[in-house]
Structure formats: C-alpha cells, structure tokens
Structure 1
Amino acid sequence: MRAVVVNCTLKGAPEPSNTDALAEVVAGDLRARGVEVQTFRAVDENIAPGVATDMGEGDGWPRIHDALMASEILIVATPTWVGRPSSLAQRVIERMDAMLSETDDNGRPVAYNRVAGVVVTGNEDGAHHVISEIAGALGDIGYTVPGQAWTYWHLGPGAGPNYLDTEQGREWSHKTGRAMASNLYAVAEALSARPVPAPPE
C-alpha cells in the first residue's frame, strides 16, 4: 500500500515545518503498518494555478498527480492562517478538481476507492473549520474520508509558540494522529477488498 502526504506549509525546504512534523507522526504509523509514504512540500513544487492536471511546461503538479494515482491514501497537511487553510492547500484542491473528469478503466472517477485525511497545525484556533473545508473538498473529488481521519494541534486564541516550540498538547495530537493512520489504513484495506462501483448512468 502507498500513501502521499502533501504538505501545504508556506515554508520551503529545508526550513523546519510544524505541519510536516505533525504529519510525520501519521506517516510514521502508516510506515509501521508497511505503507510506503511519499511526501511533497507544495511550496517547492512550482504548482501552477489552474484546474487542469497539466498546465504546461514547468508545472510541478503532474508529478504529484502521478503519485496520487499510484497511492491508496492521501494526507493533506496545512497550517491555519487567519482561520483558514493555507493558500497552497487551496491551490492543491483546485488542481485536484481535474480529477472529477478523469475515470479509471472501469468508468469510476479516479479518486474512488482511495482514502484521505487532514492534518492541521497553527498557534490560532480554527482547525475544525480547516479540516471540514478540506475533507469536504476531498469527498467532492471522490475520496473516501473515514471517521476521525484527522489530527490537529493549536494553542487556541491568540499568538504563542508553535508546535515545534512546545510540548503542550502534543500527546493528544499524536494519539489522534495514530488513530487517524489506523482508520485510513483499515478503510483503504476494506475498499481494496470491496471497491466502490462506478456511478450509475
């Protein structure tokens, strides 16, 4: 089984990313279950704006799209900015819109029988709003979003330290992240055994 993590931090590599650190908790649990995990930092991938799978020369999205097509699990990870997903998370969702018109050999939308979850970090509240926006979009595209397929970390209202700067709240976020990984894996296995059929005509 394969998984892809798309980290929508605004920080380019090799700058440490709070979002990457929490997403790695989920990825680590998936690896422990034998899942091969590939991570992309969207900010480093030159993802062009648009709603097509390939926007032409220099577009970095087709490489990520290929990885999505080769995987059963997707994790979209984003910081919270002004109570919303990052601009890069929105761009990723916009590019995934093209998947609505792509079908497999059995006539199913290509996101069918794949599962997805969400990781959110930020030293402000709004994580549940961000999770619902991204999970809703992924469901629209055709992914199956299991129950409790998310984890987040935040300090609540007001400014403060980031995830990497404090141990506060980490135990809960990590426990929830491990549950997320377990649920994603279990539902991916179930869909492999009993796939969702193509939509009726």
Structure 2
Amino acid sequence: MTDFDDLRALFINCTLKRSPEPSHTQGLIDASAAIMAKNGVRVSQIRAIDHEIATGVQPDMSAHGWAVDDWPELQRQVMDAHILVLAGPIWLGDNSSVMKRVVERLYGNSGLLNDRGQYAYYGRVGGCLLTGNEDGVKHCAMNILYSLQHLGYTVPPQADAGWIGESGPGPSYLDPGSGGPGNDFTNRNTTFMTWNLMHLARLLAESDGIPARGNQRTEWDAGCRFDFENPEYR
C-alpha cells in the first residue's frame, strides 16, 4: 500500500461567501479532503475571500500601491504543498472572480526559480473542483487546469470533478433534495481525481520532482540550448 504520510495538500476555496456562511463548494472539497486525510496526507484549506488578497500579478502588491495584501503569507502555504486543488463555483458559465484573482496571484510568483534553476512550481501537482446549478464545469476546469500546467504544475489524468444541477434556478450541491452528495458520477470523478493527485505527487516526490535537464531557466540564460538548433544559425 502506498504511503502518503509525508505529502501535504492545500485546497483553496474560491467561493464568493465569507465564513461562516455555508459553501456548496466546501461540501465537494470535504469529500476529496477526507480521502486524502484517511490516507495520511496532511490537508490544509484556505477560503480565499476571508483574506485581503490584492488585485495584481506581483508577488506582494503592498509594494505596488495596496495598503494590505495577505497573499504573500498564503503563497507560503502554496509552496509548502505537494498538491494544490483550486475549487469554486460557476457563475455565468465561468469561474468566480475570486478564482480568477487567485490564479492571477499564483501567476505573479511563476517566474521565481527553485534551487535547480527550474520554475518554482515544478514538482507539484494540481487539480480542481467545481460546483453550480448551471452549465460550465468542463469550460471552467479547462481554464484552471491549463493555468496550473502553464505555471509549472503537473496535472494528472482526470484531474477535475464537479457537480451541477439542472440549468437555471434550482438547488445547489448541499441543498436538501439536490442529489449532489449522492451523485455517483461526481463521487467517482472526485475519488479518481483525489487518488491520481496523490499517486502523481508520490511519484514526483520520490523522483525529486521533474528532471532538470532541458528546463532550467538559469542554464538557458547562461547560453545552454539543450539540443535546440535555431535554423537562423546554421
């Protein structure tokens, strides 16, 4: 049986609701987090809207005109985690404004490098969870997962899961009679996503992340081209 005791996971809930207001997205997060915790993963959670996260794409926006910016402390939690799951609601068929802000702030640190000269998010895995009562799960997941891999995260197979009710006004995930928590399709996808995240994080941890050959920014800047041949110089 695989040992996940040394892995850490962070779930960022991008609901529009401040604590302690109930979050339907939280319900789906809890299902995934419970599987991880049961297998020894140390799980942390952030409800982003409870924090003062400034708008921008710099590591610390307090140096760019904002009086308060909680993101630098939240970023430390991001960097401590082997697994990052971004979760949120669907509004107007798209990700929430909070989700977009979190992705922008993650992007603000994507140019940082690790001690091997790779981009700092290398060696970490990412996935996403979505809830709503309108269409858009796949559209929102594509946006999130593309963003994560572009920043340097590794995305495993079936790295997303979600639940939507009937299109239009209707019950949300945790509402009585919604059928959300008992939906077999959602529960299967949530379970597969969770295990695939754990398996890939385990593999990356055991291999010390992504091999450095061919992807070191420091080496490229120093003139190394890793077998790339530019036709202009032939």
TM-score by length of 2: 0.83
* Counterpart residue identity of residue 37, structure 2: R
Q: Could you say which structure has the greater relative contact order, defined with CA pairs below 8 angstroms and 6 or more residues apart?
A: 1
Kept in 2, the 8 Å contact 1:10–1:43? The answer is: yes
Q: Which runs of 5+ in 2 are unaligned?
A: 1-6, 221-234
Name segments (4+ residues, structure 1) moved above 3 Å.
Answer: none
Deviates more, 1:6-15 or 1:167-176: 167-176
Please give the alpha-carbon distance, in whole angstroms, between the structure 2 residues aligned to 1:128 and 1:181: 17
Describe the superposition over 1:142-165 as per-residue Cα deviations: whole angstroms up to 9, x where unpaired: 001111011100014222101011
Greater CA radius of gyration, 1 or 2?
A: 2
Structure-1 separation of matches of 2:76 and 2:99: 18
**C-alpha distance in 1 between matches for 2:59 and 2:30:** 27
Question: For residues 69 and 17 of structure 1, what CA distance do their matches in structure 2 show?
Answer: 25
What does 1:1-201 align with in structure 2 at a 5 Å threshold? Answer: 1-56=7-62, 57-165=67-175, 166-169=177-180, 170-194=183-207, 195-198=209-212, 199-200=215-216, 201=220
- Structure 1, 159-168 or 21-30: larger mean CA deviation: 159-168
Structure 1 residue runs of 5 or longer lacking an equivalent are: none
1:56-110 CA-partner distances (Å, limit 9, x unpaired)? 2521111210001111000000100000000000000100112221011111111
Count of aligned residue pairs for this structure pair: 201
TM-score (norm 1): 0.96
Give the conservation status (yes or no) of the 8 Å contact 2:11–2:87: yes
Q: Is the 8 A contact 2:171 2:178 kept in 1?
A: no
Aligned-pair CA distance for 1:139? 0.7
CA distance in 1, matches of 2:147, 2:154: 11
- For the 8 Å contact 1:99–1:109, the answer to whether it is kept is no
